[in-house]
Amino acid sequence: MPKSTHPHTVAAFDQELNRLDEMLVHQFELVHGMIHDAMISVSHFDVDLAQEVIARDAKVDDLDLVIEEDSIKILALRSPLADDLRWVIAIQKASSELERMGDFSKNISKRVGVLALHPLPEAAGGLKVMGLMVLEQLDRMRQAWIEEKTEQAMTVWQGDEAVDTLYDGMFRELLTHMMESPRNISSCIHLLFIAKNLERIGDHITNIAEDLYYRINGEKPTMNRPKADKTCQVTAHPEKKPEG
Amino acid sequence: MKNSFTLKAKNTLPSESSLPPGAAGAGNDPVKMDSNNVNVYYGTKQALKDVALPIRMHRVTALIGPSGCGKSTFLKCLNRMNDTVVGCRVSGSITLDNEDVYGPEVDVVQLRARVGMVFQKPNPFPKSIYDNVAYGPRIHGMTRDRTEMDQAVETSLVKAGLWNEVKDRLKEPGTSLSGGQQQRLCIARAIAVNPEVVLMDEPCSALDPIATARIEELIDDLARNYTIVIVTHSMQQAARVSHFTGFFHLGELVEFNQTGIIFTNPKQERTKGYVTGRFG
């Protein structure tokens, strides 16, 4: 239930809203753990841990399903209005974002086996920084959600630009490794996908920031989100410039 | 479509952009009835405090709020039904097409023909279905002969969505109809005198959900030709049928805005508390 308001006349309604929120916070924690362990498994080539992360995704999916079912039930049976309505909608949307982040963590973990065959330790540094930054973003977003702080959510929202910048750097670095030796290509491709997954996780975190902003203010943020992913322009032939 | 229970999409909704969020009373639709500084007293008890609420032409305006908040009192001011209440005093300005409703030259009977009313409990006269509808046009001398009267009765019953159900039993008493049909008969009676504004005081509170849906569908249809003000205890009903909503509490108009905004993003804490069921 929103912290700033009085309890509902019907106490069961408060309990149902609180339960939704508790499930979402739990989902935040599960996804945070998945991303963390996926990145550990990548840097240590820990296939067992990677398998464990893959298995954990089902829990996140289940929670998303329960949140969706309970939200529909609340919409149908309680007809929530005003901030209650926005509360339910925002939780449902945020849960879908977290579910997607779980999928990305799973996707990262799936690549650990191949990476272990062709280790490329010199590329791991940048990925580690990116992973830590995404985890930091997610943790701050979770805190903002619990404390219902839109300013903090907007800081996270704007902070995604730094994740984009790191991704841009990773893209160029991996391209360089590939140009150095074709033997690096398979590892680099997988590392690039991992970097891309982390970048996408960052984007989903900003969506949750927007969901919280909507939940509190009743509207979407009107400012433009700063973005720094310029990889669509990067080429291995710097002498040639892409059109458009 | 006539007999469908589903509510049609409101293609007459004012666009979101025509009203800046939170700007009560702004918009492009002409104002049919306006009110400013309306204060109402029952004896020494003040029932309405400085109410200012514009009622827009060919739009449905819903008035919501807890019992005793003044919403019905305000509704009754619009066609001077409060005149009949002993000890009731009204001050401030209420206009219909920019003319003062409480002006000394106003003929109250004429005013109530222009601003008709439908009550909470269906109250057909103890007469035939036909005579119930013909009553208004008859006393206002609106028809010249029987054919014109037949036409007026039919038109009103068609508009009220009742014609197909009663066309073969017009001579039967109005009280022989079901509750929902009786309420539609009362609506037919109200619109038989060609009012410009129709006031509805909880018109569905005595009806079952299907009869309610039919009245709501009817309100949607009627809004094309009439300006409608509805008092309702059902917030879902206000959300379903109205374009604008005013929330009353303790005699004050707390918030007035487009219905979509009132129910998704109300600006006042009291409105939020009421629509979300957190009223303390």
Question: B174-225, pLDDT tens digit by residue?
Answer: 999 998 999 999 999 999 999 999 999 999 988 888 888 888 988 988 999 9
Q: Which domain holds residue A145?
A: 11-232
One-character DSSP codes across chain B: -TT--SPPP-TTPPPGGGS-TT-TT-SSSPEEEEEEEEEEEETTEEEEEEE---EETT-EEEEE-STTSSHHHHHHHHTTGGGGSTTEEEEEEEEETTEETT-TT--HHHHHHHEEEE-SS----SSBHHHHHHHHHHHTT--SSHHHHHHHHHHHHHHTT-HHHHTT-TTSBGGGS-HHHHHHHHHHHHHTT--SEEEEESTTTTS-HHHHHHHHHHHHHHTTTSEEEEE-S-HHHHHHH-SEEEEEETTEEEEEEEHHHHHHS-SSHHHHHHHTT---
pLDDT exceeding 90 applies to what percent of chain B?
A: 72
Distance from the B139 Cα atom to the nearest Cα atom in chain A, whole angstroms: 46
User: Does the beta-carbon distance from B275 to A81 stay under 8 Å?
Assistant: yes
Q: Is residue A139 part of a domain?
A: yes
Q: Is residue A107 part of a domain?
A: yes
User: Does the beta-carbon distance from A6 to B278 stay under 8 Å?
Assistant: yes
Put simply, the chain B residues between 7 and 36 with a CB less than 8 A from any chain A CB are: 21
The reported pTM is 0.80
Which of A13, A218, A219 lies closest to B277 in CB terms?
A13
User: Does the beta-carbon distance from B276 to A218 stay under 8 Å?
Assistant: no
Q: Is residue A21 part of a domain?
A: yes
Angle between helices A82-110 and A185-217 (to 10 degrees): 170
Q: Per-residue confidence at A4, pLDDT binned at 50, 70, 90?
A: low
Name the residue ranges covered by the structural domains of chain B: 29-275
Q: Which residues of A touch B272 (CB under 8 A)?
A: 5, 82-83
CB of A9 within 8 Å of a chain B CB? The answer is yes
Which of B235, B255, B278, B279 would you mutate first to test chain A, the one with the most A CBs within 10 A?
A: B278
For residues A3 and B5, the model is more confident at: A3
Which of A16, A78, A81, A83 would you mutate first to test chain B, the one with the most B CBs within 10 A?
A: A81
Secondary structure, 3-state, B120-183: CCCCCCCCEHHHHHHHHHHHCCCCCCHHHHHHHHHHHHHHCCCHHHHCCCCCCEHHHCCHHHHH
Topology of domain B29-275, CATH: Rossmann fold (3.40.50)
Q: Which CATH number characterizes residue A22's domain?
A: 1.20.58.220
Q: Is residue A145 part of a domain?
A: yes
Put simply, the chain A residues between 81 and 110 with a CB less than 8 A from any chain B CB are: 81-86
Which of A6, A85, A86 lies closest to B273 in CB terms?
A6
Give the residue-averaged pLDDT of A111-134.
89
CA of A217: which chain B residue's CA is closest?
A: B265
Distances (CA, A) of A8 to A1, A19, A215, B109, B265: 9, 15, 18, 46, 17
CB of A10 within 8 Å of a chain B CB? The answer is yes
Selection from A2, A20, A28 nearest residue A69 by Cα:
A20
Distance from the B72 Cα atom to the nearest Cα atom in chain A, whole angstroms: 23
Interface TM-score (ipTM) > 0.85: no
CA of A9: which chain B residue's CA is closest?
A: B278
Q: What is the pLDDT of residues B87-110, one digit of tens each?
A: 999 999 999 999 999 999 999 999
Q: Is residue A244 part of a domain?
A: no
For residues A154 and B18, the model is more confident at: A154
Q: Is residue A57 part of a domain?
A: yes
CA of B268: which chain A residue's CA is closest?
A: A82
For residues B245 and B25, the model is more confident at: B245
User: Does the beta-carbon distance from B265 to A7 stay under 8 Å?
Assistant: no
Give the range among A33-37, B14-18, B171-175 with minimum mean pLDDT.
Answer: B14-18
Q: Is residue A123 part of a domain?
A: yes
Q: What is the pLDDT of residues A198-233, one digit of tens each?
A: 999 999 999 999 999 999 999 988 888 888 888 888
Distance from the B240 Cα atom to the nearest Cα atom in chain A, whole angstroms: 12
Q: Per-residue confidence at B11, pLDDT binned at 50, 70, 90?
A: very low
> Strand, coil or helix: what is A8?
coil
Does B17 have pLDDT greater than 80? no
Amino acid at A234: V
Which of B236, B264, B280 lies closest to A6 in CB terms?
B280
Give the range among A44-48, A229-233, B114-118 with minimum mean pLDDT.
Answer: A229-233
Structural domains counted in chain A: 1
